[in-house]
Amino acid sequence: MFKKYSYIKDLVIVNTCCVTKTAEAKSVHRFRSALRKYPDSTIIATGCACRIHPEKFSEAHKVIDNIQRNLIIKGILPEPNKSRYFLKIEDGCNENCSYCIVSKVRDKIESKGMYEVRHEIDWAKSLGYKEIVLVGANIGLYGLDLGLDLRDLLRSISTIPDLPRIRLSSIEPRFLDAELIKSLKDLPMCRHFHIPIQSADDYVLSQMRRCYNVLYLENMFELISKNFNDVAIGADLIVGFPGEREKEFQNTHAFVEAQPITHLHVFPYSPRPGTQAYELGDPVSSQEKKQRLWDLKRMISKKNYEFRRTLDGKQFDIIIENDKNNICGLTDNYIRIFIEENYSNNRFLRAEITRVASDKTFGRVVKVY
């Protein structure tokens, strides 16, 4: 009924990334490690770093591009060992962000058909998964190659009986409009958004070639807050982009502080050869980037604590995700609740928050499903 992985002995596939210099360096390191660790195996290298720097992977027995890789794995459904099922609905991005190399190496949009997505959700259900995370290079572009859009997909999967709760991995700001919000509300939707805003200064956004301004972001956050109670909103930010002086950074800092943002991923800008922004140089010092990064991290740590305090005493359905020696469960709004009871991964429980510390949230189980 369902295809499973076919495990091939003595074959190692290294999937590489080049979204940042660090990611590329890690890819090369893991490739070199595979050569040393499996000297008698066939080593295949694939992914984006292979496309822009094939010479770094020349010792592989074979280097294949992303299209060949996708053809190999097409139709194969995995048996993940995580507590949540990550379902890739789309690959590729054709945006024109000046700092990003992804559109240069993965410019072709490839979407799974709606039947395939529904089929894979049925597969995840058969494995007992209670949460499905929709992932992709840019999930807002889903269906561009099929004459569809993300709303069409959401409407389709909303009709699946006993649908597990659905979480969006990350979605670009320009796709979060009233129509998409309406489609999300028809689902057992996790009250959690992760949005790569990258900056909250109009000049920096224009330099980044982002297709929105700060006013749009303000309206977007207001729209989300009005439609979802106790919603968690995360964001990606780049600090130290060329043109971001202290004034521009303070605009971003003030925006994040004022908006209902509960967690952040902050990255210091790193020039990427082959991107438009590479020609702008790297005028902000490493020390200044680090200072800005830690300013934002300190602020968001306080905001996250205040957000979690508003949830004290409330009950949430959680999916157990063991954290090393600790037992914790993830709520739909992205809070990890640590509990004393011992439950295995992927158990679906109801817990009440009993204590909120600066870095952790604690609770007790009140119902086992």
pLDDT digit string, tens, across residues 332-348:
999 999 998 888 888 99
- Distance, C-alpha 48 to centroid of its chain: 18
Phi first, then psi: what are they for 55, rounded to 5°?
Answer: -65, -25
> Quick one: average pLDDT of 21-49?
88
Q: What pLDDT band is residue 4 in, cutting at 50, 70 and 90?
A: very low
Look at domain 315-368 and name its CATH class. Answer: mainly beta
Q: Is the Cβ–Cβ distance between 277 and 244 less than 8 Å?
A: no
Short-list 180, 210, 181, 215, CA closest to 197: 210
Enter the tokens of residue 25: 């360096």
pLDDT at 155: 96
First to last CA, the chain: 28
Lowest-confidence pick of 2-11, 143-152, 256-265: 2-11
Which pLDDT does position 70 carry in this prediction? 74
From CA 51, how far away is CA 146, in angstroms rounded?
Answer: 26
Domain boundaries, the chain: 11-70, 77-190, 194-310, 315-368
The C-alpha atoms of residue 229 and residue 365 are separated, in whole angstroms, by 22
Q: How many Cβ atoms sit within 10 Å of the Cβ of residue 61?
A: 11
CA distances from 186 to 96, 112, 317, 322, 331 (A): 32, 21, 18, 30, 19
Mean pLDDT, the chain, rounded, equals 91
The predicted-structure confidence for 313-324, as pLDDT tens digits, reads as follows 999 999 998 766
Is-same-fold flag (77-190; 194-310)?
A: yes
Express each pLDDT in 34-46 by its tens digit. Answer: 889 888 888 889 8
- The reported pTM is 0.88
Query: Does the pLDDT at position 9 exceed 70?
Result: no
Confidence of residue 2 (pLDDT cuts 50, 70, 90): very low
Topology classification of domain 194-310: Transcription Regulator spoIIAA (3.30.750)
In terms of residues, how long is the chain? 369
Domain boundaries 77-190, CATH class: alpha beta
The residues with which 13 forms a beta bridge, in sequence order, are 44
Name beta bridge partners: 45: 14, 63
